[in-house]
Amino acid sequence: MSNTLLPALYNTMRRIRTFEERVSELFIKGESAGTMLHLSIGEELGPACVGTAMKNNDTFTTHHRGHGIFIARGGNPDKMLAEIAGKKDGYCKGKGGSMHIADMKLGHLGANAIVGGGIPTVVGAAMSYKYLKEERVSVAFFGDGAMQQGILYESMNMAALWKLPVVFCCINNQYGMGTKIEDAVGIKDFSKRAKSFGLNTLHINDLDVEDAYYKSKEIIESARKFQPGFIEVECYRFFGHARMDKSPYRKESEEKEKRKLDPISYAKSKLIKNNILNENEIDKIDNNIMNEMDNAMEFALKSPLNDEKEIFKDVYSKNDPMPVSVHEKIKKILSN
């Protein structure tokens, strides 16, 4: 197997992790909008392999732990961090925050804080691609918690029935908030459920991102030919459900052992072992990425806040009168 893609895949995974580390720093600085941030540290393999296997005109939706997926699909770290900070220069002018980032130009049909909420969106997108005879695929990224949502099964059934160019991608990080997967499901192999609907299925349960890329690409290209698919990527969520969650429901020994299942460390070792890159070359990649994300942090912190009226923009039609904020109403009453 060719190793030519491994440096690029390593770079993507390292960018995702470093970005998430900066998101955590933003929270600690008290500069993030809201109190809920969900990091994807430890889950980098899925976004890297599936995101790289997609084409530029493909579309996707993400869940509340979707920063890394957007990075893998070309998201701008400056605009992303600014959005998470609730600033004017963010993708959605700071109105979406961490869990509702979107960018139609990059094919991002929206992140969703509702478990499984973004899944039916890709079915609608895929219906349009088939009707318009466009060679595009729409991918729904979601966590293992969404495997218990009825909307997923309705969506998989419709995709299989109508032979839509859809791929359902479950990032199985072993925990739905504080509930371990073994305590939530009867059958742990989610790909078996999807297979019963007639979908092409793939179950990735190792750390080789390059191998995962080639396998994921087969599923995605089959979907492009109207054979919908399902990809399950097993990984381990290194930290708690949200930034403030210290995961008291997990033993320290479990976390210490499971964090050894690091796709980035695995990729680094493979690069060195196969004489693709040496330590110094990898360090240079890492340092360049750190500088990139440091600059993104500075951009986000310097980005201005919106005017209070911004909250009403892009919400109502152009013909509707602009609503008056409660603050303005009170100010008017007090001035009389």
* Cα–Cα distance measured from residue 236 to residue 258, given in angstroms and rounded to the nearest whole number: 7
Residue type at position 153: Y
Name the residue among 207, 185, 226 with its Cα closest to residue 269. 207
Work out the pLDDT band at 241, boundaries 50, 70, 90: confident
Q: Got the DSSP string for 79-101? A: HHHHHHTT-TTSTTTTSS-TT--
pLDDT of residue 3: 59
pLDDT in tens, 264-284: 999 999 999 999 999 999 999
Work out the pLDDT band at 329, boundaries 50, 70, 90: confident
> Using an 8 Å Cβ cutoff, are 237 and 42 in contact?
yes
CA distances from 94 to 12, 34, 101, 132, 335 (A): 25, 11, 9, 34, 31
Average pLDDT for 132-154: 95
- Which range of 19-33, 85-99, 268-282 scores highest in mean pLDDT? It is 268-282
Q: Which residues pair with 103 in a beta bridge?
A: 108
54 backbone φψ class: left, alpha, beta (φ>0; ψ -120 to 50): beta
- Going from N- to C-terminal start, the domains of the chain cover 6-306
Check: CATH 3.30.450.20 for 6-306? no
pTM assigned to the model? 0.91
Mean pLDDT of the chain: 92
